[in-house]
Structure 1
């Protein structure tokens, strides 16, 4: 009897090209899933995260897993603040603007009180006034305190008050603006052809006295002559004329110093 041959199954699995093809399809699928997921990202948040990673300081939050060769040197750097950053030490970035403004305001308020006290003690309130404005501290000196009529040379009786003001300015960094004012009656002589020259000369005389007697930095001071263009009261009688003939010393707020 002839032996019957048994057919054996010769199943070798999928062809080799099928494996490569399957891997390619899987990668394409993953790629499109990645594109889809990125299209749903909030652009603002994504940019913030990207920026944080671009900032090298963010990596200083965590200690290095690799032991350092000189740990004592690193400790000294941290103590000295070399490796500190704005995230670990937020108090270093505190804005002191508000505190500075309060200190400046208190300083000018104290100056105002001291001047007012001086005027009352020396009975000068009728000839000199002090006011607190947005500009700073404004001192209004009538002509009779400082000058003879039509002149710009400071009188001896006006020097003590200017000396007092100078002593107060020594402890302040504020800039000072001096303004000269006249009444509307015209003046015409060889020295002052008009009220413009007279008012400017009076303002300059006050600044020159302050600087010469105390050696202030000249860049702190500015002068201007307004003539009769800014009267306090209408130029209608002798009393009003006297009020308008004046010199104003403005001790400016530090924030307005550059605009003097």
Structure 2
């Protein structure tokens, strides 16, 4: 009987066997990523960056033709198709666990958190041309005439501060008071009180929320930037506040 000979590439290794094995591996990896994608919401920018990173890694591993022909286009297109049919709404939930967050995602997540906490009357998000302000009524954070953050205020600040830590924007923490004078050994005037409150908020955000100290600055404004006339107690309470100003 004549034995059949298997073709080799001259080195004793069966030609094409490595390619078959590699193709199976790539197919399995693709299935894995598609499966993971089906269970998760995906930030498009992050996923595209990941896809490009994977592509670059494979290109560095080999100069084979199969790598250069597979440029990852279909993987990125999958994300585009997903967002086109409504997946964009899922960005909000994903942003809360991702490393970075856009300012638009920040507003959506913070608005929801404030509503969930039942604090719509005391905390508001105000958008202007060059900045977004997260405004805290001082009742949430401080006792009257004090600058130490209340324990209940720390819980609220922690929840919202976690979102601040995901921003790449410059952040100003502004302390404000009403026009009633204060004169204590610790706070000779409203300047000291407003500045100390802002500073304590900054220190808390850095220590407990991971906010980058290079991106956050405390300022005290005393009574000189009111949002309402200081003619009633209700209006004066509006002026006693902490403004977290995020520069666009």
Superposition TM-score, scaled by structure 2 size: 0.57
- Alpha-carbon distance in structure 2 between the residues aligned to 1:170 and 1:178: 14
CA RMSD of aligned residues (A): 1.4
| Matching residue of 1:241 | 236
- Give 3-state SS (helix, strand or coil) of 2:110's partner: helix
| Matching residue of 1:118 | 113
| Matching residue of 1:216 | 211
1:102-141 equivalence runs, <5 A: 107-141=102-136
How far does residue 183 in structure 1 lie from its aligned partner after superposition? 0.4
Which blocks of at least 5 consecutive residues in structure 2 are unaligned? 1-100
1:229 aligns with 2:202: no
How far does residue 215 in structure 1 lie from its aligned partner after superposition? 4.0
- Alpha-carbon distance in structure 1 between the residues aligned to 2:193 and 2:225: 14
| Matching residue of 1:204 | 199
Which blocks of at least 5 consecutive residues in structure 1 are unaligned? 1-105, 254-260
| Matching residue of 1:85 | none
- Alpha-carbon distance in structure 1 between the residues aligned to 2:217 and 2:113: 25
- Alpha-carbon distance in structure 2 between the residues aligned to 1:170 and 1:140: 17
- Bigger Cα displacement from structure 2, 234-243 vs 211-220: 211-220
* C-alpha contact 1:112 1:132 (8 A) present in aligned 2: no
Go from structure 1 to structure 2 and tell me whether the alpha carbon gap of 1:116 and 1:215 turns closer, same or farther (over 3 Å shift): closer
Larger Rg: 1
1:73-222 equivalence runs, <5 A: 107-222=102-217
- Alpha-carbon distance in structure 2 between the residues aligned to 1:225 and 1:187: 14
Aligned residue-pair number: 148
Superposition TM-score, scaled by structure 1 size: 0.55
How far does residue 114 in structure 1 lie from its aligned partner after superposition? 1.0
Displaced runs of 4+ in structure 1, greater than 3 A?
none
* C-alpha contact 1:135 1:250 (8 A) present in aligned 2: no
* C-alpha contact 1:108 1:136 (8 A) present in aligned 2: no
Go from structure 1 to structure 2 and tell me whether the alpha carbon gap of 1:125 and 1:171 turns closer, same or farther (over 3 Å shift): same
- Alpha-carbon distance in structure 2 between the residues aligned to 1:130 and 1:215: 21
How far does residue 216 in structure 1 lie from its aligned partner after superposition? 3.4
* C-alpha contact 1:138 1:249 (8 A) present in aligned 2: yes
- Give 3-state SS (helix, strand or coil) of 2:174's partner: strand
- Alpha-carbon distance in structure 2 between the residues aligned to 1:215 and 1:121: 23
How far does residue 133 in structure 1 lie from its aligned partner after superposition? 1.4
